[in-house]
Chain A
Amino acid sequence: MRQASTETNITPIYGATILVIAALFLIGLLAGQQWTTPETLWSVLQGQGSIIERVSVLELRLPRNLLAMLGGAALGAAGAIMQGVTRNSLASPGLTGVIAAAAFGVVGTQTFFTPDALWLPVISLGGGFLGGMLTFVIAGRGRLQPERVVLAGIAVTALCTALTTGTLLVSGSEAAELYYWLAGSLMGRGWLQLKLVAVWLILPLVAVLLLRRPFRVLQLDDELALAMGLAVGRWRLLFLLLALIMAAALVSVTGPVIFIGLVAPHIARRLIRDQFQHWLPLSALLGGLLLLAADTLARQLAFPQELPVGMLTALIGAPWLLYLLNSRESAHGG
């Protein structure tokens, strides 16, 4: 089936993805209660235009778009890492309990303490780390079957969701706000939130993009990787940790946004066929694209209100996952 001759040319795929992202970014800047015309946008970018236009474009839409793009890229990369490193096509931040546990960490601390916002990514990371570890420890006792990991992740998610709900009932006046946050949304996120997580998203993202070679080797057999002089266990841990940091940090500002980390790597994998060195970067790009698109849709679909973007990604992601499970089954059966 797979022959060297089927090797596709990757450049057009990259080009198309980047083009779509740019278009979405532009639409994201223009769209709103009153659509900004391209000419106005141009003048705003040059530092002119009315104060309302400048605020809505530069202070509201621009940081939000950047956050969507960066966050989506982080989720896509995190998903690709988890899927690649554990060799489990179903592993993703949402399905391994990482996101739910991170969310519980944030809700719990917000309720019982009033931490400085700077600490939120750290707290979220702690929660996500514990959740992910719990899932893999539970599932890892047998072989690391994909379905087992997901079932364990679902159980951890159920536990965290229950705990979060219980905590919310105690948190009183903050509950409504936290509840909205739990739906996963980019509404009202600005430069402040972007600055808060930018470091946590960009550094790991750059790191994993630079570490493409060990990542590629990790996807081979353990023996083969060892033979190539790679400390498999250590690298695997490092990659998982980086993925965790990205996913959990994003949760701390946007709330849980699931399924992007699952869907983006799968699409990327279809596009690249067998050129695995491109998997990680393309997953990141597609993740950014997906979240940007979902957020733009979320802003416009129910105008003048906003849909939580987490709801949209779930609506797109769950059917995808069901399809994936079915095709896995038939692949195994056939």
Chain B
Amino acid sequence: MVANTREPHKKPLLQRTTILLWFGCGLIFLTPWLGLQFGATDLSWQQVLAGLLGEGSSHVERVVMDLRLPRTLIGLVIGIHFALSGWLLQLITRNPLAEAGILGISGGASLVAVAAFVVGDWIQSGDNPYGGIPFALQYLPLLAMLGGLLAALAVYGLSLRNGGLSPVKLTLTGAVLAGMLHALTTGGLAFWGHAHTELVAQWLAGSLYGTTWAHLKALLPWTALGMIGVLILLRPLSAMQLEDEQARSLGLHLNRWRAIALVVAALMAASAVGIVGPVGFIGLLVPHISRRLAGSGLLVQCLMCTALGATLAVVADTLGRTIFAPYELPVGVVSAALGVPFFLYLLSRQP
């Protein structure tokens, strides 16, 4: 079916795909350079290169290898996470406004992560006031995922209960839930009223500040899992793009695949939230641009999402670090500033 529709355009499409893939590869390899090159310390590109190869001075090596490289890599990875998650959500809900933040997935993940933080601190408080912070970095993605999944299921269930999953309705349900979760998180944090509030607040803004290799290690297994999930989902997803009835006549368990895709999307978004906090709007913006560039082929779309998501996150983070230097804007704020106008534009085009 899919092959049939492609047949007439085969030649130009292939050329376009090739160009796009090269473009994507170029982006993925070039943008990290941005993150490595710019920052609070001025380094020439020779110095950066020397630092990467382990031949620079100890200062350069520290800046490049311990600070900028892990941060840039995490930026790449979370960009991929949020972009693919948004892409999946937009596909399965057929909703151009769907995104992890707007659907409450990030909110649920944040709430559980903050709760874990607070409880962890509460258990450990007394002996060491700073003991609570490095608590179980590797568990945070897992816990956040739990929250994200619950929120996703709640939104899905609530909107499904009345039949249709119209874009506006689903978005509204998600947004209301997200609002409630946000209020709960803020309230819980204020109620906790602890000296670490600003640390958690930084995390809640969606920030790459102070991320280390340990963060990257905690995140990578989930990246791998999510990517595998997306690859497995590609075929059922392309069938699901058809009308529901046609897809069903192909013998597809629509709801089952939809649920699996939802789980993968929640997993990708929430695990990233567990590490860097809720970064909104990357998952909204990137899939749209990818679709427009890539046309209807899901594999190309998915690859474009990967490349553009990584690029956008790194660019947003680099901008946030350099615009108001020495202050730092968290990547979540920059991406919201870029994404909200886009959301409004999409909204104005909704019938």
> Are A and B part of the same complex?
yes
Residues of A within 8 A of B (CB): 94, 138-139, 141-142, 147-148, 150-152, 154-159, 161-163, 165-166, 168-170, 175-176, 179-180, 182-185, 258, 302, 305-308, 310-315, 317-319, 321-322, 325-326, 329-330, 333
With a 10 A CB-CB cut-off, give which of B97, B173, B280, B333 has the most chain A CB atoms.
B333
B187 contact from A154, A175, A307, Cβ within 8 A: A307
- B150 in the interface, Cβ–Cβ < 8 Å? no
Task: Determine chain A's interface SS by DSSP, over half rule.
Answer: helix
B169 contact from A163, A176, A329, Cβ within 8 A: A329
A residues within 8 A CB of B13? none
Q: List 26 A-B contacts (CB under 8 A).
A: A142-B348, A147-B172, A151-B172, A151-B347, A155-B343, A155-B347, A158-B101, A158-B343, A159-B336, A162-B336, A162-B337, A165-B204, A169-B198, A169-B329, A170-B324, A176-B193, A183-B183, A183-B187, A305-B193, A308-B186, A310-B183, A310-B187, A315-B180, A317-B180, A322-B158, A325-B169
- B50 in the interface, Cβ–Cβ < 8 Å? no
How distant is the Cα of A326 from the Cα of B176 in the complex, in angstroms?
Answer: 12
Interface size in chain B (residues, C-beta < 8 A)? 51
B348 contact from A138, A179, A258, A302, Cβ within 8 A: A138
Asked if A169 meets B173 with Cβ closer than 8 Å, knowing A185-B190, A311-B183, the reply is no
Q: Are A318 and B177 in contact (CB under 8 A)?
A: yes
How distant is the Cα of A332 from the Cα of B269 in the complex, in angstroms?
Answer: 34
Q: Are A318 and B348 in contact (CB under 8 A)?
A: no
How distant is the Cα of A322 from the Cα of B172 in the complex, in angstroms?
Answer: 9
B residues within 8 A CB of A154? 102, 175, 179
A307 contact from B191, B202, B343, Cβ within 8 A: B191
B residues within 8 A CB of A322? 158, 173, 176-177
A183 contact from B102, B162, B186, B347, Cβ within 8 A: B186
Asked if A176 meets B198 with Cβ closer than 8 Å, knowing A310-B187, A330-B162, the reply is yes
A residues within 8 A CB of B343? 155, 158
- B163 in the interface, Cβ–Cβ < 8 Å? yes
Supply 4 further A-B pairs (C-beta < 8 A) apart from A148-B347, A169-B201, A176-B198.
A138-B348, A159-B337, A169-B328, A176-B193
Give B331-342 as 1s and 0s: 1 = Cβ < 8 Å from A's Cβ atoms: 011001100100
Q: Are A141 and B348 in contact (CB under 8 A)?
A: yes
Can you name the residue of chain A whose Cβ is closest to the Cβ of B196? A176
A165 contact from B163, B177, B205, Cβ within 8 A: B205
Residues of B within 8 A of A (CB): 97, 101-102, 158, 161-163, 168-169, 171-173, 175-177, 179-180, 182-184, 186-191, 193, 197-198, 201-202, 204-205, 207, 280-281, 324, 327-330, 332-333, 336-337, 340, 343-344, 347-348, 350
A residues within 8 A CB of B329? 166, 169
Q: Are B162 and A165 in contact (CB under 8 A)?
A: no
A residues within 8 A CB of B327? 169-170
With a 10 A CB-CB cut-off, give which of B168, B172, B182 has the most chain A CB atoms.
B172
Q: Are B340 and A159 in contact (CB under 8 A)?
A: yes
- Closest-CB distance, B196 to chain A (whole angstroms): 10
With a 10 A CB-CB cut-off, give which of A139, A158, A318 has the most chain B CB atoms.
A158
Q: Are A175 and B183 in contact (CB under 8 A)?
A: no
How distant is the Cα of A175 from the Cα of B204 in the complex, in angstroms?
Answer: 13
A-B complex: 7 closest residue pairs judged by Cβ atoms: A311-B187, A314-B183, A162-B336, A318-B180, A166-B333, A183-B190, A165-B205
A305 contact from B182, B191, B204, Cβ within 8 A: B191
A residues within 8 A CB of B177? 318, 322
B residues within 8 A CB of A162? 205, 280, 332-333, 336-337, 340
Asked if A165 meets B187 with Cβ closer than 8 Å, knowing A138-B347, A325-B176, the reply is no
How distant is the Cα of A176 from the Cα of B201 in the complex, in angstroms?
Answer: 9
Q: Are B161 and A326 in contact (CB under 8 A)?
A: yes
Q: Are A165 and B193 in contact (CB under 8 A)?
A: no
- Closest-CB distance, A41 to chain B (whole angstroms): 29
B residues within 8 A CB of A179? 186, 189-190, 197-198, 201
A151 contact from B163, B171, B204, B207, Cβ within 8 A: B171
Q: Are B184 and A314 in contact (CB under 8 A)?
A: yes
Can you name the residue of chain B whose Cβ is closest to the Cβ of A306? B191
B residues within 8 A CB of A302? 191
Can you name the residue of chain A whose Cβ is closest to the Cβ of B342? A155
A residues within 8 A CB of B162? 326, 329-330, 333
A residues within 8 A CB of B186? 179, 182-183, 308, 310-311
Q: Are A175 and B201 in contact (CB under 8 A)?
A: yes
- Closest-CB distance, A304 to chain B (whole angstroms): 12
How distant is the Cα of A182 from the Cα of B204 in the complex, in angstroms?
Answer: 14
- Closest-CB distance, A181 to chain B (whole angstroms): 9
Asked if A165 meets B333 with Cβ closer than 8 Å, knowing A147-B172, A310-B186, A314-B184, the reply is yes
How distant is the Cα of A282 from the Cα of B282 in the complex, in angstroms?
Answer: 44
Can you name the residue of chain B whose Cβ is closest to the Cβ of A178? B201
Q: Are B201 and A165 in contact (CB under 8 A)?
A: yes
Q: Are B280 and A158 in contact (CB under 8 A)?
A: yes
- Closest-CB distance, A329 to chain B (whole angstroms): 5
B residues within 8 A CB of A148? 168, 347, 350
How distant is the Cα of A158 from the Cα of B337 in the complex, in angstroms?
Answer: 9
How distant is the Cα of A318 from the Cα of B97 in the complex, in angstroms?
Answer: 20
Q: Are B333 and A311 in contact (CB under 8 A)?
A: no
